[in-house]
């Protein structure tokens, strides 16, 4: 089986450019055979175009993808974020091959003070719920430890 990383980060500032370069370098050492495909906007289309039965796709990460839609460093927020999210969920559900979606659970702490931040937390939480509903496995990683949230045959499955 082959594997490909669908990277969602965009280098909109010097710090992010450096972070992306560090991740590329780390991947070259740790996973030299892993193909990396950078996604600048339409993640659903990228999933549809690259999904194959013998290829594992790793989407990293859903949180960055949504952040760039709702709170871009430059320009206006995407007006079609709900449609893009629906398209992505459909692309994931109909994927020809296996998928791993990486995201950040950001709603475990205090309620954010800012209205825009609260709206983002709520939107990401809803996207997580919709994604989890169609996935066979959901795993929460805490301090490098795996916590099984949903497994085949579990009551939430």
Pairing of strands 138-142, 2-7: unpaired
Helical ranges in the chain per DSSP H: 14-30, 43-50, 62-70, 81-93, 115-134
Q: Which residue has the tokens 């175009």?
A: 49
Catalytic residue flag (residue 23): yes
Tokens of 15: 């710090």
Options 23, 90, 128, 137, the catalytic residue: 23
Which helix (H) or strand (E) is 6 found in, with range?
A: strand 2-7
Q: Is 60 helix (H, G, I), strand (E, B) or coil?
A: strand
Which residue from 76, 149, 84, 77 is spatially nearest to 120, judged by alpha carbons?
A: 77
Distance CA 117, CA 108 (A): 14
- Paired residues of 56 in beta bridges: 3
Positions marked catalytic: 23
């Amino acid at each position: 089986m082959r594997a490909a990383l669908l990277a969602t980060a965009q280098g909109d500032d010097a710090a992010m450019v450096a972070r992306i370069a560090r991740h590329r370098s780390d991947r070259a050492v740790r996973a030299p055979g892993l193909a990396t495909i950078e996604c600048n906007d339409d993640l659903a289309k990228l999933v549809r175009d690259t999904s194959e039965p013998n290829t594992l796709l790793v989407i990293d990460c859903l949180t960055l993808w949504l952040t760039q839609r709702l709170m871009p460093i430059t320009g206006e927020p995407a007006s079609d974020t709900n449609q893009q999210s629906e398209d992505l969920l459909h692309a994931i559900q109909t994927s020809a091959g296996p998928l791993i979606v990486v995201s950040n659970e950001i709603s475990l702490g205090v309620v954010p003070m800012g209205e825009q931040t609260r709206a983002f937390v709520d939107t990401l939480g809803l996207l997580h719920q919709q994604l989890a509903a169609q996935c066979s496995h959901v795993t929460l990683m805490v301090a490098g430890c795996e916590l099984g949230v949903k497994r085949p045959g579990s009551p939430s499955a």
